[in-house]
Structure 1
Amino acid sequence: MTMAALPLPAKAILLDSPATSAVATLEQLAEMLSVTTGVERKHIYQALAAREAQGSTALGSGVAVPHARLSELASTAVAALRSLQPIEFSAPDGVGVRIFVAVLVPASGTLEHLEILSRIAARLAQDDLRQQLLQVADVDSFRSLLLT
């Protein structure tokens, strides 16, 4: 799946979230993913939180990619959030996270899951792209930058 093909609708992007904790951030991502998938918000949150408990999904440089596989999911779902302030997310470089891209895949989608995570990580490894994502003013521009 190419970045352009990622299922990231505008309604699954939140810019300038006032969240101040990892829990609040995961709850907001779960809420957006619940709207786009129809899966209960609490269930999505629990899956994302369980994955974080295994080890932080923060990549460093202010970026995290929370992810989980869910048996009741029919297809991949993605949500993105930019926080107003850095969130402590146990990043390997100790830097607070402001850019979150959450990924849910069907339980059977192991290979697809890894490919999507790899593509997102490679995109967000670009310094200039991260700076643009932090500065852009609207959801459509954020989405376009992330997926192009």
Structure 2
Amino acid sequence: MTTLPLAPANICMDPPVADAGDVLRTLAGILAGSTGLSAETIAEALQNREAQGSTGIGHGVALPHARLEGVQQTAIAALRTAQGIPFSAPDGVIVHLFIAVVVPKAAATAHLETLSALAARLAVDDVREGLLKARNSAEFFRLLTNPA
């Protein structure tokens, strides 16, 4: 699997989010610390991408993502929500696991490789179930980043 630029500090476990906008703003706030861009700039980019079509991939997972000017390297943030959020996933299942990715504007290949690696990892039932049961961000990190 592609090495993921994710740290336990960039994982938010069960925050009080009410809707998709709250989720994207929370993820953007985390990513702001990793990119040097403002949370507002990142949230707007993620929301603009969602307006083009949902990044919900099914099975309770979404991969919000954007390519942005000013980002120097790929950054990832994760959010798990206990109550689930409607996110227009193709299977209609509410989303509990959000993994957001931002990459430099010119990094189309890295963008696709990162999304592909995440989608492949999250396609594994045991991984998704483990992430939903993880007790803390360190456990979540280990489950997401370590190959089975």
TM-score, with normalisation over the residues of structure 1?
A: 0.96
**Alpha-carbon distance in 1 for matches of 2:81, 2:71:** 27
> Which residue of structure 1 lines up, in the alignment, with residue 95 of structure 2?
97
> Which residue of structure 1 lines up, in the alignment, with residue 121 of structure 2?
123
Corresponding pairs, count: 146
SS at match of 1:95: coil
Identity %: 49
> Which residue of structure 1 lines up, in the alignment, with residue 51 of structure 2?
53
Which residues of structure 2 form unaligned runs of 5+?
none
Report runs of 4+ in structure 1 exceeding 6 Å deviation: none
**Alpha-carbon distance in 2 for matches of 1:55, 1:129:** 25
How far 1:18 sits from its partner (Å)?
1.8
What residue identity is the alignment partner of 1:114?
L
SS at match of 1:52: helix
> Which residue of structure 2 lines up, in the alignment, with residue 22 of structure 1?
20
> Which residue of structure 1 lines up, in the alignment, with residue 70 of structure 2?
72
Which residues of structure 1 form unaligned runs of 5+?
none
Write the deviation string for residues 72-92 of structure 1: whole angstroms up to 9, x where unpaired. 001000000001211010010
| 1:142 aligned onto 2:140 | yes
